């Protein structure tokens, strides 16, 4: 009996240690180290496509905490490099919104995520040129009768926050009306009501597509994009928006599905419900989930008792495994759209958007601790 009591005491002690809150200064040091490594390694600026732009959403989030002007200047230089535009085609008759990386794909969401950072930079130091292209593009898009602009899960992170940020800036409720119309279409083709999760796009809907175990295949980073995007929407959505309850319900259902799929070591695998399909840690999905959970806790949507253990486990993985001693963020699945068995994802696997997700998670944890 005495041995049993001692063992139980030790197990409880280990559990308490495992869930011990990190020190705020250590969290801030970790995200600053990661950000400064990235900016020192990549001092020149690339195009305004989604991968670079997703990094900048994290960089601006960290700037909002630290007021380190080097971070703001880095994003401002990127925006200037891209002329405060996404895709640059001037002729609206040529604008497209299927997948495309050239300048005529102005209405494709991967070219619109940059507007999030442009709007944030405008808010810091207003200058009409910073948001002129964002307003031109989104106002034109809203003038069309089409609602099927967001046909892949990533697009919800890329553009939903653009709509709420522009509403907040202008007071034009059409941004909120179209946000809901586009969101409704996305749900009609990607959302699995039973699981409370999103397929990456219509190609992956069960049972047309199956994971290795014959079940539903939800791509971790894809659902991470959506979950983080919903948090960003709720941040700026007015309290009296008629669809607010729907966004909250979707967000909270995702939170439940997400914490149930977390692995014991704190990370999430590339296929959420089939961890053996592409086993091992994946940082970008894990970081977006950790950010989304912490945001919900910080803003009263998620109960600490239920969700904080998962968020802290996620951060433990991010700060002790994903974060390398030199500041590199590793274990990020390369650009893609699905879990791929046998794909190499290791300590050297880093990307711009993975760093951005890490900065979001760490910034939100720092807010919680402070």
Short-list 361, 218, 369, 238, CA closest to 292: 361
β-strand partners of 268 = 282
| Residue written as token pair 């001092």 | 43
Contact between 169 and 119 under an 8 Å Cβ cutoff? The reply is yes
Local structure of residue 291 (DSSP, 8 states): H
Asked, as a colleague might, if the bond just before 106 is cis with ω within 30 of 0, I would say no
Phi/psi of residue 48, each to 5°? -90, 30
Give me the long-range contacts of 229-232 (CB less than 8 A, separation at least 24): 229/156, 229/157, 229/158, 229/160, 229/161, 230/156, 230/160, 230/254, 230/292, 231/291, 231/292, 231/295, 231/296, 232/157, 232/160, 232/161, 232/164
Report which of 5, 2, 71, 82 is spatially closest to residue 49, judged by C-alpha positions. Answer: 82
Catalytic choice (154, 217, 223, 241): 154
3-state secondary structure of 329: strand
Answer yes or no: 154 catalytic. yes
- Which residues are CB-contacts of 221 (< 8 A; sequence separation ≥ 6)? 154, 270, 282, 284, 285, 288, 333
Q: Which residues are catalytic?
A: 154
């Amino acid at each position: 009996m005495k041995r049993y009591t001692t063992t139980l005491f030790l197990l409880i002690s280990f559990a308490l240690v495992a869930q011990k809150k990190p020190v705020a200064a250590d969290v801030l040091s970790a995200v600053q180290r990661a950000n400064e490594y990235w900016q020192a390694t990549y001092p020149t600026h690339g195009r305004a496509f989604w991968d670079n732009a997703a990094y900048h959403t994290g960089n601006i989030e960290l700037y909002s905490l630290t007021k380190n002007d080097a971070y703001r200047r880095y994003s401002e230089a990127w925006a200037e490099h891209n002329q405060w535009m996404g895709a640059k085609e001037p002729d609206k008759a040529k604008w497209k919104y299927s997948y495309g990386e050239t300048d005529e794909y102005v209405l494709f969401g991967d070219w619109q995520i940059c507007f999030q950072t442009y709007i944030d930079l405008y808010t810091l130091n207003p200058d009409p040129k910073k948001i002129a292209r964002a307003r031109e593009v989104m106002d034109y898009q809203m003038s069309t009768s089409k609602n099927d602009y967001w046909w892949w899960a990533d697009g919800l992170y890329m553009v939903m926050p653009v709509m709420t940020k522009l509403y907040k800036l202008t007071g034009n409720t059409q941004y909120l009306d179209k946000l809901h119309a586009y969101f409704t279409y996305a749900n009609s083709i990607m959302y699995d009501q039973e699981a409370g999760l999103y397929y990456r796009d219509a190609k992956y809907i069960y049972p047309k597509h199956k994971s290795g175990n014959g079940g539903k295949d939800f791509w971790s980073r894809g659902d991470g994009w959506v979950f983080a995007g919903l948090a960003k929407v709720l941040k700026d959505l007015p309290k009296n928006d008629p669809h607010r309850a729907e966004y909250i319900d979707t967000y909270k259902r995702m939170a439940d599905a997400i914490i149930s799929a977390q692995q014991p070591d704190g990370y999430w695998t590339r296929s959420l419900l089939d961890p053996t399909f592409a086993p091992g840690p994946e940082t970008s999905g894990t970081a977006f989930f950790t950010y989304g959970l912490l945001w919900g806790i910080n803003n009263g949507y998620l109960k600490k008792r239920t969700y904080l253990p998962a968020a802290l486990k996620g951060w433990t993985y991010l700060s002790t495994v994903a974060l390398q001693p030199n500041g590199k963020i590793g274990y990020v699945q390369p650009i893609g759209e699905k879990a791929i068995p046998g794909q190499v994802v290791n300590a050297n696997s880093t990307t711009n958007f993975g760093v951005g997700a890490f900065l979001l998670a760490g910034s939100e944890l720092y807010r919680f601790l402070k």
